[in-house]
Structure 1
Amino acid sequence: MSVIYSTLTSLINKVSDEFRKSFLFTIIFTILGFIEGQWVNSFFKKLYPSENFLNFLNKNRILKNHIFNPLIVLFIFAIFLLLALNSVSTSLAITLMLAFAGFFIGSAVIPRYFLNDTRNILEFKRRDMYSIGFCLILISIVFFFVSIASVGGIPLLKPSIRYLLKPILTMPVFLIIPGTCLVASSYLKDYQDEKITRSQARFRFIFLLAMDCALLLLLGYRTPLLAAFLVIIIIGFYGNIVSLWEVVIGALVGVGAIIGIGYFRSLGELTITSSTSPIYSLQTRADFTLHVLNLLDFIGGNFGLTHGHMLASSIPGSDLGPRMMVGKLIAWRTEVTITPTLIGQMVVDFGKVGVFVEMTILGFILGIGFKLMQKTKNYFYIGIYSLILTYTILGVETGLLDIQVLVYFAIAIFVYLINIKKSQI
């Protein structure tokens, strides 16, 4: 395995080096270096609020130490349920209690017995992680322009053409999220090693976020846009690059972006009027998704219906994707994609029993990642935890059903299991 890793990273490092040495990227990095210098030494930067701004937030121990604890997933799930206009059925209430209990046990109880000694953890080279992230960003930028060209316009300006985007072309664009995660983590490593200042690290984080927002906003996608915000904020927070008050403000901006984009897109599609409350589109979306979950819970019962086929349908080449399968199960319509929430796939595949087991496993993955990150303060483990927590939070509505997201979790599980094994030697 180490031979494969060494060969792969060596190749990626060469590709990354060649691109960064090219005339185009030399100019780009020179310009960015100049702007960064002006930013760091700018008089106007002094007008920006200090770390002690809204200092009362720092006095709250829960916010300061546990704002991105895995249990935030349950908190957001609860808010999502409260947004819905209708209540849950008795059967679904039982399923949700099992889900919450399983996740709590997996994230807060079981990890106490693992990784109490982190002296032998895996170490990843900063250069390797940066090169992988850089190449992923390059791929996403290329496919962004290909996607725009394929529909003949910008989806944000013409909402109707967003539905003409082809998943085979847009999926690579979303690689900008893990790419940004790895590059930002690499800059965090530079900051930890005192190779760059905090101001330089903050500028680079802002630039990465601005680049992500530009690409994803123009495509008209809300969920990946929020993913970009979350990844940068979580890495910055645990790397002492972003202050707590900035996390809170960033969270409000992220929620506002979801509401705003959804509102204006709904206006463009004539599904609501300008007199409708902006939050109404979010409420109706939550209500519809909860209605879907009620139906899936009825179908799944105690032991499930599809027995793993929905999760397996995430693999490219399947006749139906998982969200199309949801459409077929509840309405016999395979031409639409329907989000089933975080536990929708679990209950259809394996019923209430499966929900408890899978949520326990999911909680354990996040709990181990959180513990490893807190004990080591290692840049890589901060990055990988930020990535999987981000997609779990977003999965509260959408579910963990995209193949690339499942790959991120598979990598995290593999790395965590190796560390658990090494800690027991």
Structure 2
Amino acid sequence: MNLKRFDFFNPMIIVAAILVFLAMGYIGSFNYRFEDPLKLEVILTILFSCLIFTIGVVFIKYKINVSDVKEIDFLSEKVLVILVLIAIILQGLNLVLIGGIPLFNSVLKSNATTNIWRVAYPLFLIMINILLAKYYDRKYLLLVGLGALIFGLNGYRTSVLGILGSSFITLYYLDKISKRVGIIFVAVIAIGIMAIGYIASQSIATQNWTLNPLELVFYRAAFTLEVFEKIIPLGESTHGHVLRMIFSSGSPRTFIGEYVLHYTVCLTSTLFGPVYLDFGLIGLTVQMLFMGIFLELIYKLKKDVGVGIYSIILTHTIIWIETGPTDIMIWFLYLIGLILIMINFNHINLNKN
């Protein structure tokens, strides 16, 4: 295989990431938390999900053609820079109003995802990637770093991964990633995620952690897969309640914690947990088929701003492998992908061969 021509960030990276996460959780279940490894039912359910996702990807790959992709010209470079700066300023204001840095205080962290943050984070994420995709300039990498830093102060690893990961993929498709830059970027992402996760864990006053940053990564994977293991016997028992909470008020992750573990805690439950709890194996099948089809279709539209949009959606789908698709803000990113599909609808054709 010619590695120079191989596209490392095609939608099948989701399957690779799922398998890596499963392996990490399996190892973690031995070393850090459990007397017994993950049950075979968990492993088979996840492998089944990977198969369904792959079927969706393959169908679009070989049955759908895109004749051309429309360029979007109404977003000028100046406007994009202004919007990026507004997002950074809003997050700075958010930290001021919270009264401190949530990364170092678990109480502040629990209140850090305010309405200001819900506007600032997606605004920054979308505009910085479109800015890079349409008007790449090395100086804009400083904005990427600044954004990762200031949003990382909220104490959530996913924000840092979302910003750095999507920017990295955007630069990859712009052919701006040299081997040296790529290694540095990946190292920064890995170290940043582990550092934020470790610092945030140490700020929880009610817990005494003895794990080092690397061990904590394996522990989190094992714990999250354990939550999914406990969800499987409860499949289809909430009848869409988690889904309704995602698109209304309330905290789906806290509800899952109360429903599954019977105490108030905000839980990550894997990409598969929320839909399985609501709709069982049928719901999981529909979700994974949809994601495979959707991601491959957006992948075919990755030109101009489509590069940035695909990078954002792919990155956050990877994040969902641990956290679960319970954030309406991230579903908004999928909505942007849907708009991209609608704009190019007349250029999408069925391959009759």
TM-score normalised by length of structure 1: 0.73
- CA deviation string 1:325-361 (max 9, x = no partner): 211320334x432111111122112211221221111
Deviation at 1:62, TM superposition (A): 4.3
Residues 327 and 157 (structure 1), Cα distance of their counterparts in 2 relative to 1, 3 Å cut: closer
Residues 357 and 132 (structure 1), Cα distance of their counterparts in 2 relative to 1, 3 Å cut: farther
Q: Which residue of 1 aligns with 2:252?
A: 322
Give the Cα–Cα distance (whole angstroms) in 1 for the partners of residues 97 and 21 of structure 2: 35
Residues 62 and 362 (structure 1), Cα distance of their counterparts in 2 relative to 1, 3 Å cut: farther
Conserved 8 A contact 2:104-2:200: no
Conserved 8 A contact 2:103-2:196: no
Unaligned runs of 5+ in 2: 30-36
Q: Which residue of 1 aligns with 2:283?
A: 354
Match of 2:118 among 154, 159, 171: 171
The equivalences for 1:360-371 within 5 A come to 360-371=289-300
Residues 423 and 222 (structure 1), Cα distance of their counterparts in 2 relative to 1, 3 Å cut: closer
Conserved 8 A contact 1:105-1:360: yes
The equivalences for 1:272-421 within 5 A come to 272=208, 276-300=211-235, 304-316=236-248, 318=249, 320-333=250-263, 335-373=264-302, 378-421=303-346
Q: Which residue of 1 aligns with 2:34?
A: none
Conserved 8 A contact 1:98-1:355: no
Give the Cα–Cα distance (whole angstroms) in 2 for the partners of residues 112 and 130 of structure 1: 36
- CA deviation string 1:268-326 (max 9, x = no partner): 436456x64321211221111111111112211xxx2334331231124x2x3221221
Give the Cα–Cα distance (whole angstroms) in 2 for the partners of residues 390 and 114 of structure 1: 23
- CA deviation string 1:53-75 (max 9, x = no partner): xxxxxxx6346522111111111
Give the Cα–Cα distance (whole angstroms) in 1 for the partners of residues 146 and 212 of structure 2: 30
Deviation at 1:93, TM superposition (A): 2.5
Q: Which residue of 1 aligns with 2:143?
A: 208
TM-score normalised by length of structure 2: 0.87
Residues 424 and 280 (structure 1), Cα distance of their counterparts in 2 relative to 1, 3 Å cut: closer
Conserved 8 A contact 1:323-1:339: yes
SS of residue paired to 1:220: coil
Q: Which residue of 1 aligns with 2:40?
A: 90
- The reply on whether 1:255 has 2:185 as its aligned counterpart is no
- The reply on whether 1:65 has 2:3 as its aligned counterpart is no
Give the Cα–Cα distance (whole angstroms) in 1 for the partners of residues 192 and 128 of structure 2: 19
Deviation at 1:228, TM superposition (A): 0.9
Task: Give, as a single letter, the amino acid of the residue that structure 1 aligns with 2:182.
Answer: V
Deviation at 1:240, TM superposition (A): 1.4
Q: Between the two proteins, what is the percent identity of the paired residues?
A: 26
Conserved 8 A contact 1:91-1:298: no
Conserved 8 A contact 2:156-2:197: no
The equivalences for 1:73-222 within 5 A come to 73-84=14-25, 85-86=28-29, 87-115=37-65, 117-119=66-68, 121-125=69-73, 127-128=74-75, 130=77, 133-134=80-81, 136-158=83-105, 160-175=107-122, 176-188=124-136, 201-204=137-140, 206-222=141-157
Q: Which residue of 2 aligns with 1:21?
A: none
- CA deviation string 1:194-246 (max 9, x = no partner): xxxxxxx2232x21212212211322221111111111111111111222443
Residues 158 and 348 (structure 1), Cα distance of their counterparts in 2 relative to 1, 3 Å cut: closer
Residues 363 and 272 (structure 1), Cα distance of their counterparts in 2 relative to 1, 3 Å cut: same
Residues 174 and 79 (structure 1), Cα distance of their counterparts in 2 relative to 1, 3 Å cut: same
Larger RCO: Structure 1 or Structure 2 (Cα < 8 Å, ≥ 6 residues apart)?
Answer: 2
Query: Which structure would you say has the larger Rg?
Result: 1
SS of residue paired to 1:313: helix
Residues 313 and 132 (structure 1), Cα distance of their counterparts in 2 relative to 1, 3 Å cut: farther
Give the Cα–Cα distance (whole angstroms) in 1 for the partners of residues 162 and 144 of structure 2: 10
Count of equivalent residues: 339
SS of residue paired to 1:219: coil
Give the Cα–Cα distance (whole angstroms) in 1 for the partners of residues 219 and 168 of structure 2: 28
SS of residue paired to 1:128: coil
SS of residue paired to 1:70: coil
Task: Give, as a single letter, the amino acid of the residue that structure 1 aligns with 2:259.
Answer: L
